Amino acid sequence: MKKNIQNQIGWLLQEKYKGKLTNSAKQDIEKLAKREPLDYLIGFINFLDCKIDLSKKPLIPRIETEYWVDKLINEDFKLQKSNFKVLDMFAGSGAIGISIMRHIKNSKVVFSDSEVNCINQIKINCQINKIPKNRYKIIKSDVFENIIGKFNYIVANPPYISTKRIKKIQKSVLKYEPHVALFGGKDGLLYINKFLVEAKSFLNKNGSSLPVRRPANGVRASKIYMEFDSIQKKQIEKLLKKLNYQNYQFQKDQYDKWRSLIIII
């Protein structure tokens, strides 16, 4: 643990203070010792070559999220030659949608989040990453409440941690990160269920079949990409069948845990 703290102090000084132990740096080190997240103290993270500011304290994007987003960009989105529209639901910092627009020039993104701080954070991050204003829109919405129109893709990282597992969550996460972005009710499926009930109604129905990598017969499929807790796979599969989703695929993260879902419409 002490070695980990020392590594974090070194990273903090390097990234934020250019190696100088200023008075402000000393104050941040004290906060770090109290387990305030390093990323909040530095003020930003790197997510797929995008600078993601965290000044409004959104959920800190995780490397597991970065992993599946990197795959969808390189294994699917880069195959698409024509323009397409993405809905980034539960957008938080905007990291997912911004990384899509930075890497895929023919993409446009609608960001959606229910929290004012996240709406403001997304605006900041679009500006920092020099995303043209005509390529994105930001909507304050409780799930699909204020969403209008159809999309080629929907990406979602909903709150999915079960409140029953709260004792297993790191104390620093519980203390400093937004609970509204973490917890999805007693079973963790509250927002996942709300999302999946409505999601297919907001997708263009192009028709396709697995495998995911290459659209069948040159027809681009409309797809949902969603993150979840690895222990929820069986419950989500039951939910998918109940909601009559027929063409879907679960994927593992870099730690060999079930982490993301792809649904093809």
Instruction: Give, to the nearest 10 degrees, the angle between helix 63-75 and helix 95-103.
Output: 30
Q: Is residue 115 part of a domain?
A: yes
Q: What pLDDT shows up at residue 3?
A: 60
Q: What pLDDT shows up at residue 225?
A: 98
* Pair (67, 157) in one structural domain: yes
Give yes or no for a contact between 162 and 184, defined as CB atoms under 8 angstroms apart.
Answer: yes
Q: What's the structural domain count of the chain?
A: 2
Q: Is residue 40 part of a domain?
A: no
* Pair (208, 82) in one structural domain: yes
Residue 187 domain boundaries: 45-264
* Pair (113, 243) in one structural domain: yes
* Pair (164, 195) in one structural domain: yes
Q: What pLDDT shows up at residue 206?
A: 62
* Pair (187, 56) in one structural domain: yes
Q: What pLDDT shows up at residue 207?
A: 43
Specify burial of residue 227 (Cβ count, 10 A radius: 0-12, 13-18, 19+). Answer: buried
* 10-residue averages of pLDDT along the chain (265 residues): 77 89 91 92 97 98 98 94 96 98 97 98 98 98 97 98 94 96 97 98 68 46 95 98 97 98 96
* Pair (25, 85) in one structural domain: no
* Pair (22, 88) in one structural domain: no
Q: Is residue 39 part of a domain?
A: no
Q: Is residue 189 part of a domain?
A: yes
* Pair (57, 174) in one structural domain: yes
Q: What are phi and psi of 161, to 5 degrees?
A: -80, 135
